């Protein structure tokens, strides 16, 4: 394998974008390595300099989409004038509505099948990355004394898991009582996990209610 250098990275990026286009057109499962080789006009041997197997290309494409999507978190992370709770609220708000349209289209295109490896892997990597961003916000909030936990990373993971769980529960049983229950539980997880009063996240509560409806 050649030493990583600018040329290597830019060629790799080119391959990722070519694979991305192909996955968009045909879906991940129906795109073959041969399709990618043809479109990139390289040999199988050359491809192995960059990726060992098709699954590695999948991960690279997903991480590419996540990185594009993640740009919307940058101003939130950099803003020194908002509290940690304010940042968490902005982050959760952002994840619902601010996803750029081309990324939403890409995600739809990429998961042509009802149960798709793309969907699962994408959700997994995306949850992981979101938890990392949230962990940073929580750690900052702990440092400033606003939040209280000895486990910023683990709390962030649990909040993401809980958000996914309550979202699924709300889809499964979308009655007003159940949605209220899910929100109440999520607020409890958040306030208990972050060592804050539930009243401090009243705004977040309303946000979650509106997102689950």
Question: What gap in Å lies between CA 210 and CA 213, rounded to an integer?
Answer: 5
The pair of three-digit structure tokens given for residue 59, joined into one six-digit string: 């991960």
> What's the longest Cα–Cα distance across the chain?
61
From 104, 113, 148, 180, residue interacting with a copy of itself (rule: CB under 8 A): 113
Q: Binding a copy of itself by CB under 8 A: which of 33, 66, 68, 158?
A: 158
Near a copy of itself by CB under 8 A: residue from 39, 140, 154, 167: 154
Among 96, 148, 151, 180, binds a copy of itself (CB under 8 A): 151
Give the HSE-up count for residue 46: Cα atoms under 13 Å, Cβ half-sphere. Answer: 12
Q: How many CA atoms lie within 13 A of 211 on its CB side?
A: 22
Residue 121 binding a copy of itself, by CB under 8 A: yes
* Owner of token pair 């974008």: 17
Q: Does 132 bind a copy of itself (CB under 8 A)?
A: no
Distances (CA, A) of 27 to 118, 122, 149, 174, 186: 9, 13, 42, 31, 35
Exposure string (b/e) for 186-198, b if CB count within 10 Å is 16 or more?
bbebbbebbebee
Looking at 162, 191, 200, 211, which residue binds a copy of itself (CB under 8 A)? 162
Q: Identify which of residues 9 and 52 has a Cβ nearer to a copy of itself in the complex.
A: 52
Q: How far is the CB of 189 from a copy of itself (least distance, A)?
A: 7
Cβ-based nearer residue to a copy of itself, 172 or 199: 172
Quick one: 48 or 151, whose CB is closer to a copy of itself? 151
Nearer to a copy of itself, 49 or 53 (CB): 53
Among 10, 102, 120, 174, binds a copy of itself (CB under 8 A): 120
Applying CB under 8 A, which part among 2-10, 76-84, 136-144, 179-187 lies near a copy of itself? 179-187
Query: In which element (H, E) is residue 181 found?
Result: helix 176-194
d(CA 21, CA 106): 9
Write the burial class of residue 74 (CB in 10 Å: 0-12 exposed, 13-18 middle, 19+ buried): exposed
Residues lying near a copy of itself in the complex (CB under 8 A) = 29, 53, 55, 58-59, 113-117, 120-121, 124, 151, 153-154, 157-158, 161-162, 164-166, 169, 181-182, 185, 188-189, 192
């Amino acid at each position: 394998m050649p030493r990583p250098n600018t040329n290597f990275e830019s060629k790799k990026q080119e391959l990722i974008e070519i694979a991305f286009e192909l996955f968009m057109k045909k879906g991940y499962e129906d795109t073959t390595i041969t399709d990618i080789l043809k479109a990139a006009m390289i040999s199988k041997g050359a491809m192995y300099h960059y990726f060992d197997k098709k699954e590695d290309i999948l991960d690279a494409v997903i991480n590419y989409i996540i990185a594009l999507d993640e740009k919307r978190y940058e101003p939130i992370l950099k803003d020194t004038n908002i509290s940690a709770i304010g940042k968490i609220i902005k982050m959760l708000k952002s994840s619902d509505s601010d996803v750029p349209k081309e990324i939403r289209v890409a995600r739809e295109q990429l998961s042509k099948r009802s149960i798709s490896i793309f969907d699962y892997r994408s959700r997994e990597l995306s949850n992981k990355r979101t938890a990392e961003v949230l962990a940073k916000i929580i750690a900052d909030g702990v440092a400033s004394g606003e939040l209280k936990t000895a486990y910023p990373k683990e709390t962030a993971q649990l909040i993401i898991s809980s958000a996914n769980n309550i979202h699924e529960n709300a889809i499964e049983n979308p009655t007003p009582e159940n949605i209220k229950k899910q929100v109440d539980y999520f607020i409890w997880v958040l306030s208990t996990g972050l060592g804050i009063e539930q009243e401090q996240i009243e705004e977040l509560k309303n946000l979650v209610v509106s997102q689950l409806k």
